[in-house]
Amino acid sequence: MKVVTFEIKDAATAMAQFQEAFEAAHGRKPFKPKSGVYFTSLAAVRNFLTPKRLALLRLIRAKKPHSIYHLAQLTGRSFSSVLKDVDMLAKHGLVRLSRDKASARRAVHPCVGYSAIQVWINV
């Protein structure tokens, strides 16, 4: 089972890590970049992972729609609102988008390649 992990860090910790990386880069010293998706609070995670976005993730995984338009039809929501949510999910690495070169309109195919989302809270 593949799992996507979000981490919650307070703003001070995130800023300290950014400062450390910036100083190392400015001084041309090696440093190990940290990659991932981070939020500053549980409320921020809740604002991002809305019930509609979670429903989209589940639907993409279950039905494997061949385009964003098809996904919008499956949800009964407008194309523009589904596109905004899918773009936001893709920006944070939760949805992978690929172009279907075989289709006449080169449809964008959404894909979810994991089965769970994990949230780590640093205390």
66 vs 111: CA distance, rounded Å:
9
Structure tokens at 10: 């307070």
Crossing angle of helices 79-91 and 68-75, in 10° steps, is 120
Per residue of the chain (123 residues), give pLDDT as tens: 788 888 898 888 878 888 888 888 888 888 777 767 888 889 999 999 999 999 999 999 999 999 999 999 999 999 999 999 999 999 998 999 998 777 667 788 999 999 999 998 877
The pTM of this model reads 0.79
Q: CA-CA distance, 99 to 103, in Å (whole number)?
A: 9
